[in-house]
Structure 1
């Protein structure tokens, strides 16, 4: 057996410590390790029960073992923890009411991908002032997740920065890989190591290939560079995640939740030997980022199920206390309570109405 080696590498010299090049374009600021944050903000018994039960239920729904439908719903992003927990309390009550038909999981997103520049989320800039106190942002995000989980709500997040899951992933029951990162090898490898089910969104141009390749890739074991909970750079050996699935979010100037698009997605999944499990994202490209259209997208997808579709197992909606969205004002005291500062959201009253309507339409199909 031939062993590949580089025998004259200076790194083989005993006691050699390689020097680092000067960072002319960057400064470095220390972060607490994931282990330090988890020690200071550990899971409570109630939060752990909510997370574990949520993970198991999501996987059962997506596999068809549980006849309910998954609904991932909540603010486009959390910027005000007080308003976010107000929403979480309302959603927890509604989730209990509709639990016989719908498994409701709250969106608790703290990182926002940007096409160019803009506010990158609560972790990156928790005080909305470009101070970028990420250590405090991570602390605030974990406190929020603990408080929401203790209300009995399963939680959903987007894996954007590859290190953030070490701080937060133990509190998520469902994870998204976004349209801009589905093609990224790093994010596919990351997904292969997560304990939660992972939804891969189709690309921003509306094509499915990147998401389908990601589902296959993430289901396989990988070895990749990462970081352990102590903050040490490490080789991560993942076992693969068998719970990847397709999220249709529209793109390329057209939606893809209609029956023809769903049929084409089913064919593409079958061709790749991927289980025909689809989540319809009612926001983003499917609603042209017009929150008033989200209820129509949901109603159309539900109608397809009523008329015999069995591949649509889940829905995603962006919802908050107040409808629409708002820019970040120079005077932060002028922020409207419970209104998104990123994508526009459906208001709470509309949220409760359309979810009750969805439950009424789907309840007769339970077990069919």
Structure 2
């Protein structure tokens, strides 16, 4: 029996991606930008905990497909955020990954050219370049944590993350949420029920965990949290 008859039987193509460290080196954050993101994360934590009386509002496009349009949106978003800052804390939604119930476009990272070419490395580069530019505009950013590999590439740029309706009940995503460095929200399940799924998700998220995933250098790692 040939060895290949047992491995990657349903895989037709494979491309090795650059590592998270390589992507971050190509599109780095400055010390000032890192401090800005840390401050935004703390502000969001304070609002959730009731230490800041403002209302947290995460809003923006359903998903990002055009970086230039996202920048134009961000300019207007920043102006609005300044107007309402006394009572509302606005966080711009910048979603690059689309969960699908069946099939469809899965987002800018998966297929940035929207032509079925699935240039994932190109998508990661476009996403990180855009995020750095948005952070440079002074905006706090939010996303949905969908692919467990993506946070190593982009997670340092976000101030808030969501676990979506299709993944709220997923053990993998609950463990991933435990390891994220920013505040995380869980959506209702796809059946519309909220409290049970969210209660179980928060319990799973808060529990100690060990899981394996690629580390910052792109090598397999066992993480504990």
Aligned twin of 1:109: 95
Q: Within 2, Cα distance between the matches of 1:46 and 1:136?
A: 27
Aligned twin of 2:9: 24
**Alignment deviations for residues 257-303 of structure 1 (CA, whole Å, 9 cap, x no partner):** xxxxxxxxxxxxxxxxxxxxxxxxxxxxxxxxxxxxxxxxxxxxxxx
Which of 199, 215, 223 is the equivalent residue of 1:212? Answer: 199
Q: Within 2, Cα distance between the matches of 1:132 and 1:185?
A: 27
Report the alpha carbon displacement of residue 19 of structure 1 after superposing the two structures with TM. Answer: 9.3
Q: Name segments (4+ residues, structure 1) moved above 4 Å.
A: none
Report the alpha carbon displacement of residue 85 of structure 1 after superposing the two structures with TM. Answer: 0.7
Structure 1 segment 1-368 matched on structure 2, within 5 A: 21-26=6-11, 27-208=13-194, 209-238=196-225
Report the alpha carbon displacement of residue 45 of structure 1 after superposing the two structures with TM. Answer: 3.3
Q: Within 2, Cα distance between the matches of 1:45 and 1:86?
A: 25
Does the CA-based 8 Å contact 1:46-1:150 persist in structure 2?
no
Q: Give the TM-score, by structure 1 length.
A: 0.59
What residue ranges of structure 1 are gaps of 5+ in the alignment?
A: 1-17, 239-368
Q: Within 2, Cα distance between the matches of 1:135 and 1:194?
A: 22
Does the CA-based 8 Å contact 1:46-1:152 persist in structure 2?
no
**Structure 2 counterpart SS, 1:65:** coil
Q: Within 2, Cα distance between the matches of 1:215 and 1:101?
A: 27
Q: Within 2, Cα distance between the matches of 1:24 and 1:216?
A: 37
Q: Within 2, Cα distance between the matches of 1:145 and 1:83?
A: 13
Report the alpha carbon displacement of residue 21 of structure 1 after superposing the two structures with TM. Answer: 3.8
Report the alpha carbon displacement of residue 20 of structure 1 after superposing the two structures with TM. Answer: 9.7
Q: Within 1, Cα distance between the matches of 2:5 and 2:203?
A: 37
Does the CA-based 8 Å contact 1:110-1:122 persist in structure 2?
yes
Cα RMSD of the aligned pairs, angstroms, is 1.5
Does the CA-based 8 Å contact 1:122-1:141 persist in structure 2?
yes
Specify the structure having the higher radius of gyration (Cα). 1
- Pair 1:49–1:96, CA change in 2 (3 A): farther
Q: Within 2, Cα distance between the matches of 1:101 and 1:117?
A: 40
